[in-house]
Amino acid sequence: MFKVTPAAAEQVRAAAQQGGTEGMALRLAAQTAADGSIQYVMGFDEGTEDDIRFASEGVQLVMAPEFVPLLDEATMDFVELDDGTHQFVFLNPKDPNYVPPKEDA
């Protein structure tokens, strides 16, 4: 199932508080691009009765059933990039551009 890291969960909660969307679930969607990579979309939403609903790291998540095949093994993280900016990243072994994180020795 889709997972959220503690860092991503903290940022999602902060974004919900800043945006006045506390109590809403985070909607996830994905599609395969022409090059085979996976493009991700997310935003706060109430959800519908047809959605798949679950939680990870205390974050309520919803997604339409058709997105489960692309997202069920993915992890969303919030990381600092080389230039000092922060952003959400999706680690998904189903994406042809996926590179597993290096383990610290």
Instruction: Give the pLDDT mean for 36-41.
Output: 94
Q: At 105, which amino acid appears? A: A
Task: Give CA separation, 24 vs 28, 37, 53, 82, in Å.
Answer: 13, 29, 12, 32
Q: For the whole model, what pTM was predicted?
A: 0.88
- Render pLDDT for 55-67 as a digit per residue (tens, 0 to 9): 999 999 999 999 9
Label residue 81 by pLDDT band (50, 70, 90): confident
Domains within the chain, CATH numbers bracketed: 3-91 (2.60.300.12)
Element (H, E) at 79: strand 75-80
